[in-house]
Structure 1
Amino acid sequence: MKLGLIAVPLILMGVTQAGVAATQGNFKRFSVSAGWLHVMPQGKANPFNINTAVKDGTQSTVGKISQGAFIDSIDPNATIDNGVDPEPINLKAGLLKMFDQGLADVIGDGKGNISEVFTGTATVNGLEEWQSESTGLEAEDVDTLGLTINYYMNDNVSLQLIGGIPPKVDIKGKGEIFAPLSGLALPTGVAAMIFPDGLPLGQDIPITNLGNKSKAATARAWTPALEAQYQFGKSGINKFRPYVGVGLMYAYFNDIKLNSEIRSDLEAAGHMIQNVLDNKAGAALDGQVSSGVMRVDVDADDAIAPIVTAGFTYDLNDHWYGVASVSYAKLNNKTTINVVNESTGQQLIHATTKIDIDPLITYLGVGYRF
């Protein structure tokens, strides 16, 4: 990619200088066109890379926790020797049986929760950083009004500026993001006597489902391009004149709006992280609001990409012409999502993904030369 970005400006300079030399800089001509620009992204989604403020090995007081959240947090593959069965049994299944046999009455508060007297502490792992496979973002097709301006150095060589009305692009989400919780819970009191070695934790905590929304976000895309073009044939002789071009595209994205459901899910994830940091791991698993005020920030990096074009013009008369072209740009950018506790300014969640846009662009318009 770096070699390509270096080579494109050199080609632009070479073609421009060749055109000026051929005409000794005496021939200048302009043209403008407007028409339908259809953008078809070809890239595929890339997984999110996620970091949180809960470092591996963080110890957090559990506090009160619902029985359901407690059971869900237990490693589904963990086993326990109950002293009765000849082989170790599944820990989660054993806990459910013990709850039915009266353990819930012993360690519960009578309201469906396990009392903080018995929950003790938890060593939390898995939330510091992970990659969420089979997730990501993809840009959807979009239409807009395209505009081009050409400066001709001779009858064949020109520089073209490509622009248009910046379209609002729908961003489609893919997959569901889970937080891979692991660790060890160390209960106290009677519970510690029953489970002296602690309780292994293992749960994929649902964070947000990107794929079941009509769109994950929208953004305004500004993508001007500059190309050096060579047009075959001669003016006044050939009405049909094919051309090829090569250049650079600059991409800038603003007015980014995240889907409201996804934003709400990310705020809830921020509360989960803050609760762990506040020594309220039980509240974190129960999805309770924390002491913080959550803000979700979304940003997309600017990008520069090589672009190539093939097209043709058809002269209607000396001034007016029709034009059609197809272009391809090797364009991608990095999108960042941060969840920040506004009360403290601490960044609780940092997530990034690369969006491979790689647009195939068709253009059909009418132009005027002067």
Structure 2
Amino acid sequence: MRRPLQWSVAIAASIGLMGLSAQSQATGMHTVKAGYGYTDFANDSGQLQGDGVPAGITAGAKNVDTFLLTYDYNFNKNWTFELAVGIPPTVKLKAQASGQDLGEVGESKSLAPTFLAIYRYPLQGGWNVYAGLGVNYTKFVDVEVYEGYTFSLLSGVVGPVLAQQLIASGQASAAGEIDDSIGAAFKLGVSHSFAANWLIDLSYSYYDVTADISNTVNVNGFPPSSQKISIDVDPSLYSLSLGYTF
């Protein structure tokens, strides 16, 4: 007859221990997280400017998946310093003219370490909500300009047949460069401590990133031609991560 009371005491003790475990996790000094991220680019583009460029051409980055790594230094249960990195995704660029899709024109890998000061508010049951502000540094590497871009520009000058011949014979090629970008970063998230030292984290981040792109088309026997475009790519990152605190 006393078994219901014994179960009640046991359940209450278990809940108490879970709460202590969650509190211990929340105040640990170091947290590492790894997970999946989906990047959605805003793509507010200017027009392509330069030699042999028709009016009205814009460009933008295609949305991409990535693998994320995050390190948190927890000063206390409320304040955290965060460094967010990840495996550099390959971001493909697409072009448009008067609303018509011109296809992919190039690609680049993006290294984007982000430093954030985060305020975390603990809730009951091992839940935390948080918000952070910081700065993002984006470096674009391995920039590649596709042959389709070179073909489109040359076709308007020498015609499609000669343009294709020049590219196929290696007499015409293009190279690109993208300036580094520094901008503000903002993050909102929620985490749950589901076991001692372990948590799951769901977050949304926004980064202020501008891609200033310069392209140069080289044709043997002619001076190089240059084109430039500026795109506010401003990525929104949606992420789901698993974390360990120690």
Q: Does 1:39 align with 2:39?
A: yes
Q: Distance in 2 between matches of 1:239 and 1:49?
A: 54
Instruction: Give the alignment of 1:70-81 within 5 angstroms.
Output: none
Instruction: Give the alignment of 1:136-151 within 5 angstroms.
Output: 136-151=58-73
| Local SS of the residue matching 2:101 | coil
Q: Distance in 2 between matches of 1:145 and 1:286?
A: 41
Instruction: Give the alignment of 1:253-264 within 5 angstroms.
Output: 253-264=140-151
In structure 1, which of residues 152, 156, 178 is the aligned counterpart of residue 78 of structure 2?
156
Structure with the larger strand share: 2
Residue 101 of structure 2 aligns with an amino acid whose one-letter code is G
Displacement of 1:175 after TM fit?
0.9
Displacement of 1:255 after TM fit?
2.0
Q: Does 1:220 align with 2:109?
A: yes
Residue 85 of structure 2 aligns with an amino acid whose one-letter code is G
The structure having more radius of gyration, on CA atoms, is 1
Residue 302 of structure 1 aligns with an amino acid whose one-letter code is D
- 1:97-123: CA deviations, max 9, x gaps? xxxxxxxxxxxxxxxxxxxxxxxxxxx
Instruction: Give the alignment of 1:156-175 within 5 angstroms.
Output: 156-175=78-97
Residue 31 of structure 1 aligns with an amino acid whose one-letter code is T
- How many corresponding residue pairs? 215
Displacement of 1:287 after TM fit?
7.1
Structure 1's unaligned 5+ residue stretches are: 1-26, 53-129, 177-209, 273-283
| Local SS of the residue matching 2:150 | helix
Q: Does 1:367 align with 2:243?
A: yes
Q: Distance in 1 between matches of 2:182 and 2:160?
A: 45
The aligned residue for residue 316 of structure 1 is 194
> Structure 1 residues 133, 286: closer, same or farther in 2, change over 3 A?
closer
Q: Distance in 2 between matches of 1:286 and 1:222?
A: 36
Displacement of 1:165 after TM fit?
1.0
Q: Distance in 2 between matches of 1:286 and 1:302?
A: 34
Residue 47 of structure 1 aligns with an amino acid whose one-letter code is Q
| Local SS of the residue matching 1:154 | coil
Q: Distance in 2 between matches of 1:232 and 1:305?
A: 26
The aligned residue for residue 184 of structure 1 is none
Residue 335 of structure 1 aligns with an amino acid whose one-letter code is I
Residue 126 of structure 2 aligns with an amino acid whose one-letter code is K
Residue 150 of structure 2 aligns with an amino acid whose one-letter code is R
Contact 2:145 2:174 survives alignment (8 Å): no
- Superposition TM-score, scaled by structure 1 size: 0.53
| Root mean square deviation of aligned Cα | 2.8
Q: Does 1:249 align with 2:136?
A: yes
Q: Distance in 2 between matches of 1:260 and 1:287?
A: 14
- Percent identity, aligned pairs only? 22
Contact 2:59 2:94 survives alignment (8 Å): yes
In structure 2, which of residues 216, 226, 233 is the aligned counterpart of residue 350 of structure 1?
226
| Local SS of the residue matching 2:115 | strand
Instruction: Give the alignment of 1:285-300 within 5 angstroms.
Output: 293-300=171-178
Residue 245 of structure 1 aligns with an amino acid whose one-letter code is G
Contact 1:267 1:296 survives alignment (8 Å): no
Q: Distance in 2 between matches of 1:259 and 1:341?
A: 15
> Structure 1 residues 304, 257: closer, same or farther in 2, change over 3 A?
same
- Superposition TM-score, scaled by structure 2 size: 0.77
Residue 107 of structure 2 aligns with an amino acid whose one-letter code is T
